[in-house]
Structure 1
Amino acid sequence: MAKVRTQDLLEQFKLELVAGKDGIHREIFVSDISRPGIELTGYFRYYPKDRLQLLGKTELSYFKNLTIEEQKDRATRLCTDITPGIVISRGMTIPDALVDACNQSGVPLLRSPYKTTRVTSRLTNYLEAKFAPFTAMHGVLVDIYGIGVLITGQSGVGKSETALELVKRGHRLVADDSVEIRQEDYDRLIGTSPPLIEHLLEIRGLGIINVMTLFGAGSVRNYKKISFIINLETWDQSKEYDRLGLEEDTMKIIDVEVPKANIPVRPGRNLAVIIEVAAMNFRLKRMGVNAAEEFSERLTTMIEHEKTGLDLDDDIE
């Protein structure tokens, strides 16, 4: 899990540091953001003090209507030793009681000129992306016609060579050899490349090549949602492979089930074209067009017609 500090928010969102500069290195452990409304009334029993606190127009206007003593009390109780920071939206004027409490406790007091809803959504999206479940997989990630295809298989099966052919055909490389994957939503997996090997491909017998240098900036992507997995495996004569496409296999990555297809590899098969067509066929399926199901329906209809014709012949006899 990535380590996020309050200083990262300052740099990422260009926030203004009003007070509590001694605490800008405080670490943020959760992605949830709290808007302390009921706490300002004095009820702190369930105060989520480990979260980033956000005060909008409603909270701050209520705070300003409190007496000086009440303001000091609420500000002191808001600023705990584990509170990562307090953010004020809309560029509003901050009461002195809150500024003093943040300076004394070392809680960073930040101010943003944007509306509360925008600040909340941007901070939440940033923190959830940072704290998203993470894993790494051996494979190649390629953007094919807008579909993020993760090519897996044993070492030496031809993943990188296939990716090179796909790039030559106009598709874009995301990562080779090692794919870092984050689950940014309950059904959304984002794949990226480790910085060390970004835009690089390893071709056995040739070595390491820089795809962006050879094919241009349009041949690479920094990240891509993983929508489809293609597993390359050595052809096994004793194994029965799906010839119609009616079987739907999946592979679980973190908590997400991703559609998967197994493609056998043997000399003479153009893997790049097969994977390209598989990606297009997957895209058609998402649009509601399934060639395998259409064929199955045609076959069923034909069998029923033939059976009906045989039954009529039996009745005539």
Structure 2
Amino acid sequence: MSITLKDFWEQGRGRLSLELVTGENALKRPVEEKAINRPGLALTGFFQYFAQRRLQVFGLAEFTYLKSLDSDERVSRLRGIFEKNIPGIVIARNRNPLPEFLTLAEEYSVPLFRTTMITSHFINESTLLIEELTAPRGRVQGTMLEIMGVGVLLQGKAGIGKSETALSLIERGYCLVADDVTEVVRDSRERVVGYANELTRYHMEIRGVGIVHVPSLFGVAAIRRESELDLVIELHPYQHDREEERTGIKPSEIEILDAKFPYYSLPVSPGRDMANIVEATALNHKLKTLGHDAAKELDEKVIGSFLRRAGA
């Protein structure tokens, strides 16, 4: 996913203490790489490995070096950088741009920013921001909860009881992440993280009751702003002629944002405590991640018992 300087500017002006000095009309320039570049070697005229597709940051060292040159030499050194069609320039430590910066920025239509942050902090924070903005993201139908540290996405047709099941789990002390629709993003560590839309965050729709505000009813401990996704559970109406999973030795998988997750399909029928079953499914998954797989252990015991009897 590619972004433009406009995206970077709009999302980072507060977080990165950014000020747009000039180049508002050129904010459509793309930011093609996540990393940030300090053009120290380029200022000396060495461009063999110059990262021209990256946002360029001028810190104390670059500024001090430029100020040691006369005006004509500064223009020559800076022009070599501007000619590479760089996306933009950021001046750190809230320093006032040298006149040559302003002249060349306007000449080459390159946006020029300024930040109050020191150079190293700006590079770290802006790299994180660009990774967040370029991360694959999407939207999936379902209610997401965090159960004992396990991120669970509840799916199923409208009216099947997702929100009611989630409400029962919240009453047991677990946490709501998103109701009905969950936003998902794959971060730099390849985790898929779920969160709620800003407008509906911390709210739930309970049929027959309406919209409720979860932290007002159950306290702030009953919500999570986001959670890593670990497994997907689909609720479906019970059918007599449908063969359900009985052992769980080979669970199904579902793909979300090119990542695969364990997938469980649970039948819903009158009198069946779905909150209890979802809770058990989540805790059983947690045990599996810790190396304790009940289904495989029982299977091995049965096979071992059979072999012992056959040998006898």
TM-score range, shorter chain: 0.7 to 0.9
Aligned partner of 1:74 in structure 2 is: 77
For 1:107, give the aligned amino acid. Answer: P
Matching of residue 180 in structure 1 with residue 183 in structure 2: yes
TM-align CA RMSD:
3.1
Once structures 1 and 2 are overlaid, which stretch shifts more, 53-62 or 230-239? 53-62
Matches of 1:52 and 1:7, distance apart in 2: 15
Measured in 2, the distance between the counterparts of 1:92 and 1:217 equals 42
2:113 to 97, 109, 116: 109
1:314 corresponds to? none
Matched-pair contact (CA < 8 Å) for 2:16–2:122: no
Q: Which residue identity is paired with 2:271?
A: G
Contact 1:140 1:175 in 2 (8 A): yes
8 A Cα contact 2:36 2:123, kept in partner: no
Change (3 A) 1:244 1:136: same
Q: Using the TM superposition, name which of 201-210 and 61-70 deviates more.
A: 61-70
Alignment of 1:105-254 (within 5 A): 105=109, 107-116=111-120, 118-185=121-188, 187-254=190-257
Which residue does the alignment assign to 1:313? none
Q: 2:159 is matched by which residue type in structure 1?
A: G
User: Normalization by structure 2: what TM-score?
Assistant: 0.84
Q: Secondary structure at the match of 1:229?
A: strand
- Offset from partner CA, 1:142-186 (integer Å, 9 cap, x none): 111111100011111110110110111111111111111112236
Distance 1:184 1:124, change over 3 A: same
Contact 2:59-2:118 at 8 Å conserved across structures: no
Q: 2:306 aligns with which of 297, 303, 308?
A: 303
Q: CA deviation at 1:274?
A: 0.8
SS where residue 15 of structure 2 aligns? helix
Structure 1 residue 42: deviation in Å?
Answer: 3.6
Please say if residues 141 and 181 of structure 2, whose CA atoms lie closer than 8 Å, have aligned partners that are also in contact.
yes
Letter matched to residue 307 of structure 2: E
Deviation of residue 33 (structure 1)?
Answer: 3.0
Which of 50-59 and 190-199 deviates more?
50-59
1:113, distance to aligned residue in structure 2 (A): 3.8
Counterparts of 1:198 and 1:113, CA distance in 2: 31
| Aligned equivalent of 1:283, options 273, 286, 299 | 286
Is the partner of 1:123 in helix, strand or coil? helix
**Is the CA contact 1:71–1:98 (under 8 Å) kept in the aligned structure 2?**
no
**1:263-300, CA deviations, whole angstroms, 9 ceiling, x for partnerless residues?**
11111211111111111111111111111111111112
- Assess if the C-alpha contact under 8 Å between 1:5 and 1:26 holds in 2: no
Distance 1:43 1:307, change over 3 A: same
Structure 1 residues 29 and 235: alpha-carbon distance in aligned structure 2, compared to 1, 3 A threshold: farther
TM-score normalized by structure 1? 0.83
- Specify the alignment match of 1:32 in structure 2: 34
For residues 203 and 136 of structure 1, the distance between their equivalents in structure 2, rounded to whole angstroms, comes to: 21
2:89 is aligned with 1:86: yes
| Letter aligned with residue 114 of structure 2 | L
Q: Which runs of 5+ in 2 are unaligned?
A: none
In the alignment, the residues of structure 2 paired with residue 57 and residue 181 of structure 1 have an alpha-carbon distance, to the nearest angstrom, of 39
% identical equivalent positions: 31
Change (3 A) 1:207 1:293: same
What is the alpha-carbon distance in structure 2 between the residues aligned to residue 25 and residue 167 of structure 1?
49
Preserved contact between residue 4 and residue 29 of structure 1 (Cα < 8 Å): no
Deviation at 1:119, TM superposition (A): 2.8
- Given residue 35 of structure 2, which amino acid in structure 1 is its aligned partner? I
Moved more, 253-262 or 92-101: 92-101
User: Measured at CA, do residues 219 and 120 of structure 1 come closer, stay the same or move farther in structure 2, by a change above 3 Å?
Assistant: same
Residue 100 of structure 1 deviates from its aligned partner by 4.9
